[in-house]
């Protein structure tokens, strides 16, 4: 098994600290506001403002026995999640089965974020293997975070999940997206409690176990309720209460934009 001493003694074993690039983040957030489906802009913002958060998270990950085992086994979470036939055969109610159904309903594939993440200019190709395994695992587990937290892919769900993620990662790029996104969403739907839902997401993220260390390969075969209990993930009550209203407003807005485009 790979140990922390094995990894820490290798030259360049940790991702390099990156300087903050605020102007690049501002350009990206403007583009994201103009087109919220432009996922690549999210990665650009996170990359521009991440600073030393990646280094800190990787250090915490590789100092843990689970992290060392994942790196030592050179696991590919993406390969596991792309095995749709296996996931579809898991018992109903398990994390893996529910994840498979979630991806089918949303018309998503496990490798869908790979191309979007490549748009960020970060020097991923120069990262050591252990850090690359960690970085890929964080990217590929995004939709598992959706399923385990109960946050949907609607606009408010994505925003609340980012607040949850910020509490877990302390990545300033993610925090910046949350602040801007919550402000814009509140202007578009005032009086619904957007900020309360976002703050709830942050609180839930702080209270939960550290998800970057989750052994997803093992958890996939367990009932979702048990996974949530193991990871200490509470129910997003405020989000669940106002999501039908915000989603309906979101669909109405999209339909109106579609009519304008057709005209």
| 47-64 tens-digit pLDDT | 656 657 888 999 999 999
- What does pLDDT average to over the chain? 83
Q: Both tokens of residue 106? A: 């949303």
Helix (H) or strand (E) holding 78: helix 77-82
CB-count burial class (<10 Å; 0-12, 13-18, 19+) for 9: exposed
What pTM does this model have? 0.82
Q: How far apart are CA 171 and CA 166, in angstroms?
A: 6
Strand ranges (E), the chain? none
Q: Residue 155: what are its φ and ψ, rounded to 5°?
A: -55, -45
Cα–Cα distance for residue pair 122/43, rounded to 1 Å: 9
The pLDDT value given to residue 109: 92
Q: How confident is the model at residue 112, as a pLDDT? A: 79
Residue 123 CB contacts under 8 Å (≥ 6 apart), including other chains: 16
Q: Model confidence over 111-145: pLDDT tens digits?
A: 877 765 555 555 444 568 999 999 999 999 999 99
- Please give the pLDDT value at position 113: 72
CA 75 to the chain's CA centroid: 19
Nearest-angstrom CA–CA distance, 225 and 227: 5
Q: What integer pLDDT is reported at residue 188 of this predicted model? A: 86
pLDDT of residue 215: 98
User: Given pLDDT bands bounded at 50, 70 and 90, which one contains residue 3?
Assistant: very low
* pLDDT tens per residue across span 154-180: 999 999 999 999 999 998 888 888 988
The pLDDT of residue 106 is above 80: yes
Q: What is the pLDDT of residue 250?
A: 78
């Amino acid at each position: 098994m790979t140990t922390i001493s094995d990894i820490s003694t290798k030259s360049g074993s940790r991702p390099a600290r990156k300087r903050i690039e605020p102007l690049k983040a501002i350009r990206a957030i403007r583009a994201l506001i103009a087109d919220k489906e432009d996922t690549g802009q999210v990665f650009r913002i996170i990359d521009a403002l991440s600073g030393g958060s990646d280094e800190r998270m990787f250090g915490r990950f590789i100092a843990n026995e689970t992290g060392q085992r994942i790196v030592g086994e050179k696991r590919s979470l993406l390969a596991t999640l792309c095995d749709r036939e296996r996931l579809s055969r898991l018992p109903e109610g398990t994390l893996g089965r529910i994840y498979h159904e979630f991806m089918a309903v949303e018309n998503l594939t496990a490798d869908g974020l790979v191309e979007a993440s490549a748009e960020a200019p970060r020097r991923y190709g120069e990262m050591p293997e252990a850090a690359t395994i960690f970085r890929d695992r964080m990217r590929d587990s995004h939709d598992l975070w959706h399923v385990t937290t109960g946050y949907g892919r609607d606009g408010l769900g994505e925003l609340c999940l980012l607040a949850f993620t910020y509490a877990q990662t302390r990545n300033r790029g993610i925090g910046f997206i949350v602040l801007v996104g919550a402000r814009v969403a509140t202007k578009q739907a005032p009086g619904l409690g957007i900020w309360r839902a976002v703050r709830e997401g942050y609180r839930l993220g702080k209270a939960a176990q550290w998800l970057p260390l989750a052994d997803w390969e093992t958890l996939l075969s367990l009932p979702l309720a048990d996974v949530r209990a193991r990871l200490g993930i509470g129910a997003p009550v405020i989000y669940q209460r106002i999501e039908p209203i915000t989603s309906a407003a979101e669909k109405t807005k999209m339909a109106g934009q579609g009519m304008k485009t057709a005209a």
